[in-house]
Amino acid sequence: MPISSINPATGEILETFVADDSTAIEKKIECARERFLAWRETAMAERARLLHRAAAVLREDVERFARAMTLEMGKPIVQSRAEVEKCAWVCSYYAEHAADILEKEILPSDGSRSYARFDPLGVVLAVMPWNFPFWQVFRFAAPALMAGNTGLLKHASNVPRCALLIEEVFTTAGFPDGCFQTLLIPSSSVPAVLEHPHVAAATLTGSEQAGSQVAGGAGAHLKKTVLELGGSDPFIVLADADIDKAAATAATARMINTGQSCIAAKRFIVVEDIAESFLERFVSAMAGMCVGDPLDEETEVGAMAREDLLLELDSQLHMSVELGARVLTGGSRLDGPGAFYPPTVVAGVRKGMPLYDQETFGPVAAVITVRNAEEAVRVANDSEFGLGASLWTRDLDRAEILAAHIESGSVFINGLVKSDPRLPFGGIKKSGYGRELSHYGIKEFVNIKTVWIA
């Protein structure tokens, strides 16, 4: 079955690729396994040299990589460039720190000497999404390769060119054949790859349904998985918040990547005392964003990645309106070609509406008014998801107390939720399990081995 790359801003087919058949898949898995046996013996200094070179390759060809992202999934070109730079950063971070992180840890025991060492697991399958087509892959690949694993990438089917370019980055940087390979396969081929005896573990970033399927398949074969799934992140604004800054940041937090981000703020929970003031500023910031051609330097909001995603978001909005929600700006797709939807703010959202109960993946912000901070935390936790949360208040001592009660993988106080190579990233509940990034992430795909000496 061919895999097509379609520009969501125009609807035109960019390229068509031939999917890997079973013979090609088997050859790549065998190559990854054979390379692993040698790669795990490669000195950390040499791994670091190659990863530093990968960072340089990204920076040297940033325009080509950024353009590929923008054309395949509609991301504004300025954001695509920033994504390439972030990928270079994560490569540099692990090239500089992995050796220290993975140094054996001396531990006390009844032996004359005992320690924990961190050995790679083997071939790791990465099932990755389209919304951050470079970053999601590199935040897995950089630590996994530095730990001594090899990687197989099954990317989202609407970003095949990005998948091949990522493989090209590692090849150009000088990584040996088999260290990192792309599988051009449909989702239906993933179970067979996952059950292959040479595949040791898997990581997935994507939907709850996709995560459940991969976790189930891996579990049947007792293989390690890390899942980063959906999110319905709360953005809590308390009565003593800096409203101007909160509203401006709220618009950015919702609209990054045209609202198509797991950690985008989606439910804006505002204490009623300042709700009117916040809404006035928030609506103004959202309505003032420039929507247009993703390749235009002035564009802040590009096309949604696929037509079906736009239709699903529009359905969630209109079902909520039928139940009493109010559209304050935006609210319907833009005329003309392409999957364009304007920045939209919806007030009066409450439990039982799709905008409250479900994840919304696009440029729609749901505003929920509450009486006080305690109710705000309760509403924030009233979700199947638990990826990130943003809390706005001038009382930092109180903020830390409230943060301890928010059910999420991260809480950012007076700032938008973001991923950072230095900080652990991941969620709880239906947002998944395990952690990426920081020293926690690199240890997800290692064997923490005890060595005891009499």
Residues 212 and 245 in one domain: no
For residues 206 and 129, state if they share a domain: yes
Contact 353, 319 (CB under 8 A): yes
φ, ψ of residue 431 in degrees (nearest 5): -90, 0
3-state secondary structure of 215: helix
Side chain identity, residue 140? F
Residue 157: per-residue pLDDT: 96
**Judgement on whether residues 267 and 394 belong to the same structural domain of the protein:** yes
Q: Which residue type occupies 269? A: I
Tens of pLDDT, residue by residue over 29-66, are: 999 999 999 999 999 999 999 999 999 999 999 999 99
Is the domain of 50 the same as that of 105?
Answer: yes
Same domain for 256 and 126, yes or no, is no
Task: Please indicate, yes or no, whether residues 154 and 237 belong to a single structural domain of this protein.
Answer: no
pLDDT tens-digit readout, 354-369: 999 999 999 999 999 9
Which alpha helices (H) appear in 8-76, and where do they start and end? Answer: 22-39, 44-60, 62-73
Percentage of the residues of the chain whose pLDDT score is greater than 70:
100
Query: What is the amino acid identity at position 131?
Result: N
Q: Is 271 inside any structural domain? A: yes
* pTM, to two decimals: 0.97
What does the alpha-carbon distance between residue 284 and residue 305 come to, in Å, rounded to a whole number? 25
Q: 154 and 265, same structural domain?
A: no
Identity at 318, one-letter amino acid code:
H
**How would residue 70 be classed by pLDDT, with cut points 50, 70 and 90?**
very high
Q: Would you say residue 34 lies in a domain?
A: yes
Q: Does residue 263 fall inside a structural domain?
A: yes
pLDDT score for 310 = 98
The rounded distance, in Å, linking the Cα atoms of 356 and 350 is 6
As a whole-number percent, the residues of the chain with pLDDT over 90 amount to 100
Establish if 134 belongs to a structural domain: yes
Cα separation, 261 vs 285, whole angstroms = 19
What is the DSSP secondary structure assignment for residue 393, as one 8-state letter? -
Scanning the structure block, which residue is given the tokens 């692990």? 94
Asked, for residue 426, whether it belongs to a domain, the answer is no
Residue type at 91 in one-letter notation: C
Q: Which residue has the tokens 């074969």?
A: 221
Residue 414: band (very low, low, confident or very high) from pLDDT cuts 50, 70, 90: very high
Establish if 252 belongs to a structural domain. yes
Whole-angstrom distance, CA of residue 372 vs CA of residue 401: 15
Above 80 in pLDDT, residue 448? yes
- Residues forming beta bridges with residue 204, ordered by sequence position: 127, 227
Residue 425: inside a domain, yes or no?
Answer: no
Instruction: List CB contacts of 234: < 8 A, sequence separation 6 or more.
Output: 265, 266, 267, 268, 269, 376, 379, 380, 383, 389, 390, 406, 408
How many domains is the chain partitioned into structurally?
Answer: 2
Amino acid at 200: A
pLDDT at 1: 73
Measured N-to-C along each axis, helices 62-73 and 160-173 cross at an angle, to the nearest 10 degrees, of 160
Is 165 exposed, middle or buried (CB count within 10 Å of its CB: 0-12, 13-18, 19+)? buried
Place of tokens 């705000």: 376
Segment 285-295, tens digit of pLDDT? 999 999 999 99
Structure tokens at 90: 């994560």
What CATH number has the domain bearing residue 116?
A: 3.40.605.10
CATH number, domain at 408? 3.40.309.10
Report the distance separating Cα 240 and Cα 237, nearest Å: 8
Q: Do 96 and 224 share a domain, yes or no?
A: yes
CA–CA distance from 296 to each of 64, 300, 399 (Å)? 15, 9, 40
Q: Using the predicted structure, report yes or no on whether residue 232 has a pLDDT greater than 80.
A: yes
Q: Read off the pLDDT of residues 180-229 as tens digits, 9 standing for 90 and up.
A: 999 999 999 999 999 999 999 999 999 999 999 999 999 999 999 999 99
Q: Over 90: is that where the pLDDT of 326 sits?
A: yes
Looking at every residue in the chain, the average pLDDT score rounds to 98
213 plus 245 within the same structural domain: no
Give the strands of the sheet with 199-205, arranged side by side: 180-182, 150-154, 123-127, 199-205, 224-228, 432-433
Give the domain extent around 270.
Answer: 233-420
Q: Mean of the pLDDT values across residues 155-164?
A: 98
H or E element that contains 87: helix 77-101
Could you give the residue numbers annotated as active site?
228, 262
If asked whether residues 204 and 244 sit together in one domain, one would say no
362 plus 405 within the same structural domain: yes
42 alpha-carbon distance from chain centroid: 30
Q: Are residues 293 and 354 in the same domain?
A: yes
Dump pLDDT digits (tens) for 340-350. 999 999 999 99
**What average pLDDT does this structure show over 69-79?**
98
Q: Does 281 score more than 90 pLDDT?
A: yes
